[in-house]
Amino acid sequence: MSNHAFIALGSNIGDKGGNCKRAISLISKHADCTVLKVSSFYETEPWGVVEQDKFINMAVEIETALSPFELLEFLKGLEKEMGRTKAERWGPRLIDLDIIFYNDKIIDEKGLNVPHPHMHERAFVLAPLSEIAPDFIHPLLGKSISELFKSVDSSGVKKITQ
């Protein structure tokens, strides 16, 4: 297992923190995934559709033997297993699992874009990521996660303990 991936987690339905913890537990149970780092919880304002509950967001770093597409399929299966249903774009969700980085690969294919195409604009992704990987360099933008985080409005992001 020599591949490293960063995954963003988010929830704003039910036990938000519990949903994120359960997702991390399920990821760690996969034979081809080892969770290396886990960020704190961050309470964040909704993005896109603002008339909804605040989110709990996190990030994890994993080591995996899965290919990028296998990892995506696994994460989407976890979302379904946990009870997520397809709904409004950027709307409320029980759990959201997104591949942000996979090594330093650039993937632009139907169904999978890595690095995540909007991550550098979103404080709810950058805050937890900057905690666990501040020096990781975005392969397209050539900037570290901490540099990217400093360039966005993070006023709606609050680190919490849970």
- For residue range 59-112, list pLDDT tens digits in order: 999 999 999 999 999 999 998 888 766 665 555 678 999 999 999 999 999 999
Residue range 105-134, pLDDT digits in tens: 999 999 999 999 989 999 999 999 999 999
Looking at residue 113, what is its pLDDT?
Answer: 95
Looking at residue 55, what is its pLDDT?
Answer: 87
Looking at residue 93, what is its pLDDT?
Answer: 76
Q: Which of 43, 40, 33, 35 is nearest to 12 (CA)?
A: 43
Position with higher pLDDT, 162 vs 150 = 150
Full DSSP string of 83-120: T----STT---S-EEEEEEETT--EEETTEEES-TTGG
Structure tokens at 160: 């919490």
Expressed as residue numbers, the domain containing 154 is: 3-160
| CATH number of the domain residue 20 falls in | 3.30.70.560
pLDDT at 51 over 70: no
CB 37 within 8 A of CB 61: yes
Looking at residue 66, what is its pLDDT?
Answer: 97
Distances (CA, A) of 19 to 11, 41, 101, 158: 7, 12, 22, 18
How many domains does the structure of the chain reveal?
1
By annotation, the residues acting in catalysis are 84, 93, 96, 98
CB 5 within 8 A of CB 72: no
pLDDT at 30 over 70: yes
Residue 4 main-chain phi, psi, to 5 deg: -115, 135
